[in-house]
Amino acid sequence: MTKFLVFALLLAGCWEDDRPIAWSRDRTVIGPIPLKSQVAYIDSALDRVTIVDLADSKPAIATASIGRRAVTALASPDRHFLFVVTRGEEAIHHGEIDQPPMFWVVDTQNPKTPPTAYQIGSPFDRIAISPDNHVAIAYFSAAGPDAAGFFRNPNELAIIDLTQQPSDTNPTLKTIRSFGSIPEGIELSPPMTVPGLLDARTFAFVLSQNNLTVLDTAHPTNPEISIRLDLGGEPVVPKEIVFAPNSASAYVRSDNARDVLQVLLQADSTSGTNDYRPQLAELGAGGGPTDIAVYDDPTSRRYVLASTPNTGEVVVIDADTAQFRSVGVADPIDRILLFPTDHPHKALFASISAKLPRLWVLDLDNIQDPLTQAKLREVDLDQPVRDVVPVPGRALAMVVHDDARTVLGLLDMATESTSPLLGVGKLDSYDFSPSGSYLIGATQGVDRVGFVALDNLHPTDFRLDDLPQRVLSTENGKIFVDHGDPTGKATIIPSPTATRSDAFVLTGFLTDHLLDAEP
């Protein structure tokens, strides 16, 4: 018995020395991240992306190798690509390799295509992607240096042209001017056609306290343009930007600002290196806007809606003329939703911070006609409003009435009436089916998935073998239930009307081919 124990210990020691380094590295799993008909996970120990493809009747597993020590990941706006930042490592121990921080592009529609890697120089932990997937910017959050770094330049950006292969000039590393603040967010515009310029361009708007920075991503080495926002009083913090690409404009809502700021981009051949300049205008909200929304009427005229609790109004601004119309409302409105989202005819207003038990509806058709009476209609509710979420593709809004998400309501924007829904526990995770036909929800302490048919509000549930961690709905209508298992465990439900015999339980997919891994 003793000889056997000694032999086992010696064998274990040899195994400890020779086994792949992935077996002893710190491990973080990022995901699940929803894609089109796929779900992705990033494993920081195995240096790979695992993609679960739900396009066919049986799930398929694909993996793609990336760099070491993943930091953050983001799906593209169209969910065709996955972007991952890896920290890399310095080779010190056996099995380690010298590798700089990298930005990886994974084509999830073609998983056999090797990911493209861009060398970004710093382990950025945030990513901004343009709506057309042509430009990416990696940057730092405001969290400050971490234990794995020495210095951090919080104003450094890596600007990546995703239409071009990696090179000595792609990405472009750039440090933007700082006036004592650091970026709190970056928004990339759709392609903007600036009158007088030949090509459409994507502009980056960098948000920081008392400062808004505009950068032409087509010419990333050109100087950025800084717009000071402070008025000598309280700090002005830009919080939200909405774009009007047809008029080459952006509308900015800031905390502690008087009005909505319009940034109109114009051609300018006299300003030096840049061939454009921003023209600024304050649109007459007049009371410190708490939320904004932009829409086009049937004649393609652009309007900006702003809520201004300080003046007790909702303001409708003609973006072309800056003329505005005010509609009185006593509630401190801080949420604006438009229905339908593509061609709005109604606006919904809520007071989330104040948790008031009512909503307001405004007709947008002919809103600027002086002969049309603009008046908000009140929708009274029994419970305070904690959140309002639009249902994709439907004239419906989900209203959350308590912090635990156990009491919900569905507001029909056509009839402006609500119907209550009660849950068995906190709604920890939820999604909507692609057409908005079903609400899908899960509670982490209940081994079931709940469904609500939004046509008639009929509830059903689906029993699981394990507790759910997160629930996702793919574009092809399948439901992916992640169980939070470190080796990978998920239940795939073919549709909201499927039975347990139709479901598929997938186990161990995060350790697929683990024994084949090389150091």
The CATH number covering residue 414 comes to 2.130.10.10
- Domain residues for the domain of 484 are 423-519
Q: Which of 280, 345, 350, 282 lies closest to 314 in space, CA to CA?
A: 350
CB neighbour list of residue 502: distance below 8 Å, 6 or more residues apart: 493, 494, 495
Q: At residue 385, does pLDDT exceed 80?
A: yes
Instruction: Verify that 415 and 464 share a domain, yes or no.
Output: no
Contact by Cβ (8 Å): 319, 294: yes
Q: Are residues 295 and 252 in the same domain?
A: no
pLDDT at residue 370 is higher than 80: no
DSSP labels, 466-507: S--SEEEE-TTS-EEEE---TT-EEEEESSTT--GGG-EEEE
In terms of domains, do 438 and 408 share one?
Answer: no
pLDDT of residue 297 exceeding 50, the answer is: yes
Residues 432 and 508 placed together within one structural domain of the fold: yes
DSSP state of 201: B
Q: Are residues 312 and 217 in the same domain?
A: no
From residue 66, how far is each of 46, 70, 145, 186, 300 by CA, in Å?
9, 8, 24, 25, 45
Examine the domain organization and report whether 332 and 396 are in the same domain.
yes
The position carrying tokens 């969910």 is 79
Whether residues 487 and 408 share a domain: the answer is no
Q: What is the domain-level CATH number for residue 479?
A: 2.120.10.30
pTM of full prediction above 0.85: yes
Count, residues in the chain: 519
**Helix, strand, coil shares of the chain as percentages rounded to 5?**
5, 45, 50
* Predicted pLDDT of residue 435: 85
What are the tens digits of pLDDT across the range 74-126?
999 999 999 999 998 876 666 667 789 999 999 999 888 999 999 999 999 99
146 in a structural domain = no
Is 171 inside any structural domain? no
What is residue 308's three-state secondary structure? strand
Per residue in 400-414, pLDDT (tens digit) is 998 888 888 999 999
Average pLDDT of the residues in 317-326:
80
The average pLDDT across 188-216 equals 94
Asked whether residue 406 is assigned to any structural domain, the reply reads yes
Structural domain includes residue 103: no
Q: Is residue 160 part of a domain?
A: no
Please say which residue of 229, 247, 281 terminates a domain: 281
Q: Round to whole Å and give the CA distance between 510 and 403.
A: 33
Confidence of residue 495 (pLDDT cuts 50, 70, 90): very high
352 and 477 assigned to the same domain: no
Please tell me the distance from the alpha carbon of residue 379 to that of residue 389, in angstroms, as a whole number: 16
Of 254, 281, 308, the position where a domain reaches its end is 281
Residue 16 included in any domain:
no
User: Considering its fold, how many domains does the chain have in total?
Assistant: 3
Q: Do the domain assignments include residue 244?
A: yes
Q: 510 and 448 in one domain?
A: yes
% residues pLDDT > 90 (the chain): 62
Give the type of residue at 513: H
Q: Are residues 296 and 256 in the same domain?
A: no
Residues 6+ apart with CB under 8 A from 448: 442, 461, 462, 463, 464, 468
Arithmetic mean of pLDDT, 198-209: 94
Q: Which residues have a Cβ under 8 Å from the Cβ of 177 and sit 6 or more positions away?
A: 155, 213, 224, 226
Q: Work out the mean pLDDT of the chain and round it to a whole number.
A: 88
Residues 377 and 291 in one domain: yes
Instruction: Provide the pLDDT for residue 10.
Output: 39
Last residue of a domain, one of 233, 249, 281: 281
Tell me, what's the pLDDT at 282?
Answer: 83
Instruction: Say yes or no: 401 and 294 in one domain.
Output: yes
What is the side-by-side strand order in the sheet with 81-86?
A: 70-75, 81-86, 102-107, 116-119
Phi/psi for 426 (5° steps) reads: -60, 130
Residue 248 maps to a domain: yes
